Amino acid sequence: MRSEITGSTLPVLTLTLEPGEKILAEPDRLSWMTPNVGMHTTAATGGSSGLFGALGRAISGGGLFMTEFTAERSEAMVAFAATVPGNIVEEKIADGRGLVVHRHGFLAGSHGLSVAMGFQQSLGAGLFGGEGFVLQRLSGTGTAFVELGGEIVSYDLEAGQELLVHPGHVGMFEERVSFDITTIRGVRNIMFGGDGLFLVRLAGPGRVWLQSLTPAKLAHALRPYLPSGEHR
Burial class (CB in 10 A: 0-12, 13-18, 19+), 173: buried
Sorted by where each begins, the domain ranges of the chain are 2-225
Q: 3-class SS at 220? A: helix
Alpha carbons 57 and 116: distance in angstroms, whole number: 5
pLDDT at 86: 95
Residues across the chain: 232
Alpha carbons 151 and 183: distance in angstroms, whole number: 26
Cα angle 121, 94, 116; round to 5: 30
pLDDT at 197: 73
**Of 231 and 160, the one with more pLDDT:** 160
Tally of CB atoms within 10 A around 98: 19
Q: Which helix (H) or strand (E) holds 143?
A: strand 142-149
pLDDT at 27: 81
The residue-averaged pLDDT of 128-138 equals 69
pTM above the 0.85 mark?
A: no
pLDDT at 186: 60
Alpha carbons 162 and 80: distance in angstroms, whole number: 34
2-225 under CATH 3.60.160.10, yes or no: yes
The residue-averaged pLDDT of 162-178 equals 94
**Of 183 and 128, the one with more pLDDT:** 183
